[in-house]
Amino acid sequence: MISQDMMGLGKKRSTIREIFEYGNARAKIVGRENVFDFSLGNPNVPAPSVLTEELKGFIDAEAADALHGYTSATGIEWVRESMAESLNSRFGTKFSKDNFYMTCGAAASICIVLKAIACPGDEFVVPAPFFPEYRCWIENTVNGKCVIVPARTEDFQINFEAFEASINENTKAVIINTPNNPCGAVYSEETIIKLSEILKAAQKKYGHAIYLISDEPYREIVFDGLKIPFVTKYYDNTFVCYSFSKSLSLPGERIGYVLVPDEMEDSKDVYAAVCGAGRVLGYVCAPSLFQRVVGKCSILTSDITVYETNRKLLYDGLINAGFSCVKPQGTFYMFPRSLEADEYAFCERAKKYDLLLVPGTDFGCPGHVRIAYCVKTETIERALPLFDKLAKEYK
């Protein structure tokens, strides 16, 4: 006998992966360049050349530095110092190396945090739209209850009325993701302040910590010079789950961190629980080579101007074609309304033009579709007339 739940998860691919595989199959028939695959959030911009040079430097110096050896479970000391300095210099925080636990990307960071805090009967609140794996991790990694807060679709800030109604004595944490996958919205300072006030009041009412898990893989990918509020400055019981997958275009290298601020209640014990969770989940010692590489490049990003160019082109093109869409302020995703109520039917129709879009229901927000525009600008230029044709079918 094996776990039926795990077998079920293994047999059923995520919708996004399903569409991605469909695209690969279509590419064999019509040619790769004729498939407009907007399904996957795989950065198309290369990692910065400085990063490549650092990587080569580490490889050349291998013998001197036990490059491929185990590191300490929490991560290399100077790398964690670099993580602290990078945030302190940009956000005016006062972190030290002891606040950081290096991990295999945001996925590992979130699973570790959930495992570190979850107790039987706990509920985890997730404002929509949200990254679909949250539900999978909450339900399967810690047997928790995932409570979805419906989206505020006019601007994709938080629907606070529904949010407040979703908090109760069993609430252990809230997971937020800003800049947001799938809609590209960035929570304003006003939103973060209001969220913090509600959580502070709820902690007082229920007499226990309610954690904020801030999932931030897109933190640096913001447009129009926008400054994002750094969440630990507003709410003490905040975990930051970070990843270099998107900011440095390193998704396959699996590198990121969990940040446990000193301001968190019983922070030393919580940090110990994070270490325990890393151990139990088998995530000790994040990839050694890429710990070093991000340690040297922690304030760099890939060339995000490409995403800004793509955003403008795609957004203007979709609006001209008759779509309605909240303009993304960051990430490389756009989340327009579907042109028919059933967005699955809409995505099927889009496939006629080899436009591969992801239905919003998976993100907790039916009636919308996600377009991942981390593709060549030329791909968007060639796709726009097809979006236009698709829209004309509904006129």
Binding residues for ligand PLP, rule: CB under 6 A, are 41, 105-107, 131, 177, 181, 215, 217, 243, 245, 251, 256
**Smallest distance, ligand PLP to C-beta of residue 392, A:** 32
In angstroms, the CA 180 to CA 384 distance is 24
Q: Which is nearer to ligand PLP, 23 or 251 (CB)?
A: 251
Nearest residue to 192 (alpha-carbon basis) of 205, 203, 179, 182: 179
Tokens 């945030």 locate to 87
Contact, 374 vs 311, CB < 8 A? no
Contact, 339 vs 346, CB < 8 A? yes
Q: Which is nearer to ligand PLP, 58 or 244 (CB)?
A: 244
First-to-final CA distance of the chain: 55
**Smallest distance, ligand PLP to C-beta of residue 395, A:** 34
**Smallest distance, ligand PLP to C-beta of residue 215, A:** 5
Q: Which is nearer to ligand PLP, 183 or 339 (CB)?
A: 183
197 alpha-carbon distance from chain centroid: 24
Query: CA–CA distance from 369 to each of 63, 69, 227, 320, 344 (Å)?
Result: 50, 44, 27, 17, 9
Q: How many CA atoms lie within 13 A of 339 on its CB side?
A: 20
**Smallest distance, ligand PLP to C-beta of residue 317, A:** 24
CA torsion sign, 66 to 70 to 73 to 79?
A: positive
Contact, 214 vs 231, CB < 8 A? yes
In one-letter notation, the amino acid at residue 26 is R
**Smallest distance, ligand PLP to C-beta of residue 108, A:** 7
Q: H/E element holding 273?
A: helix 267-280
**Smallest distance, ligand PLP to C-beta of residue 168, A:** 25
Q: Which is nearer to ligand PLP, 105 or 390 (CB)?
A: 105
In angstroms, the CA 146 to CA 140 distance is 11
DSSP three-state, residue 108? helix
Q: Which is nearer to ligand PLP, 106 or 383 (CB)?
A: 106
Q: H/E element holding 143?
A: none
Q: Which is nearer to ligand PLP, 16 or 390 (CB)?
A: 16
**Smallest distance, ligand PLP to C-beta of residue 121, A:** 25
Q: Which is nearer to ligand PLP, 234 or 257 (CB)?
A: 257
**Smallest distance, ligand PLP to C-beta of residue 268, A:** 26
Greatest alpha-carbon span in the chain: 67
For residue 368, give the DSSP letter.
Answer: B
Q: Which is nearer to ligand PLP, 108 or 306 (CB)?
A: 108
In angstroms, the CA 147 to CA 364 distance is 11
Q: Which is nearer to ligand PLP, 300 or 384 (CB)?
A: 300
**Smallest distance, ligand PLP to C-beta of residue 41, A:** 5
